[in-house]
Amino acid sequence: MGLILAGGQARRMGGGDKPLLRLGGRTLLERVVERLAPQCGAGLALSANGDPARFSGFPGPVLPDPLPDQPGPLAGILAGLEHAAAQGVARVVSVSGDAPFLPGDLVARLEAAGSEAGIALAASGERQHYTIALWPTALRGALRDYLERGERRVGGFIARHGAAVASWPAEPVDPFLNINTPADLAAAEALDRG
Ligand SMILES: Nc1nc2c(ncn2[C@@H]2O[C@H](COP(=O)(O)OP(=O)(O)OP(=O)(O)O)[C@@H](O)[C@H]2O)c(=O)[nH]1
């Protein structure tokens, strides 16, 4: 199952839903769905809080964070793992909803790198992306305990559970480039025009 994380506050962008920003005539979310859907036989889910109607075109459930007082990407990942486990799905690939150039072999390579019980992270060269990763749903109990203890660092959870890494070249275009600021969006527009 593919899980698109869209529950962040987009402070560096000035607020709002970054996945609904447009790049080259389509929203970032439409671009992420276009990249990810063909790779995910078990379908997609979107992790986002607030009114789900603003994502009405999304082809899957919109999952609110299970621990609203505990923001951060791990809360969204927990929502995805619990949803997937309820559907009998063993592994979830999370991606950021602001990464419009995801590689077409993302899921296959993460699945090859990961194990039944282990997390697998995507990397651009040496740079690891903690929110673009394969997560066994079996870790959902440990993740809920971690968050309920008041922890929220993704790297801290991964360090406890080990992680394999699948790496893609960062050049000429980083396939995990994500949009954090208006300047990033302008740069992505220039890249998209090629
Ligand atoms: N579900 C969920 N996703 C989150 C949360 N916080 C961040 N994310 C997602 O995790 C990914 C990385 O988020 P960040 O870069 O830390 O935060 P951001 O909202 O994108 O941007 P800034 O507020 O500018 O840091 C993005 O896809 C976010 O949508 C949260 O509290 N809940």
DSSP code for 97: T
> What would the two tokens of residue 16 be?
């709002």
CA neighbor of 133 nearest in space, from 145, 116, 118: 118
Position 51 pLDDT exceeds 80: yes
Residue at 12: amino acid letter: R
Q: Could you tell me if 1 and 42 are in contact, meaning their C-beta atoms sit under 8 angstroms apart?
A: yes
**17 Cβ inside 6 Å of ligand 1:** no
Residue ranges in 114-153 assigned as alpha helix (H):
140-148
Cα(7) to centroid of ligand 1, in Å?
6
The residue whose two tokens read 């396939």 is 175
> What would the two tokens of residue 72 be?
């951060």
Amino acid 114: pLDDT? 84
How many C-beta neighbours within 10 Å does residue 37 have?
14
User: What span, in angstroms and rounded, lies between the C-alpha atoms of 45 and 72?
Assistant: 17
Reported as a single tens digit per residue, the pLDDT across 60-80 is 999 999 997 889 999 999 999
What domains are there in the chain, each with its CATH number?
Answer: 2-193 (3.90.550.10)
**66 Cβ inside 6 Å of ligand 1:** no
Residue from 3, 4, 5, 94 to probe ligand 1 pocket by mutation (most atoms less than 8 Å from CB): 5
Cα(168) to centroid of ligand 1, in Å?
22
User: What span, in angstroms and rounded, lies between the C-alpha atoms of 93 and 77?
Assistant: 9
Structure pTM?
A: 0.97
Complex ipTM > 0.95: yes
Q: What is the pLDDT of the chain when averaged over all its residues? A: 95
Amino acid 69: pLDDT? 84
Amino acid 194: pLDDT? 74
User: What span, in angstroms and rounded, lies between the C-alpha atoms of 95 and 143?
Assistant: 17
Cα(9) to centroid of ligand 1, in Å?
6
Nearest CA to ligand 1 atom 22: 10
Reported as a single tens digit per residue, the pLDDT across 103-131 is 999 999 999 998 878 999 999 999 999 99
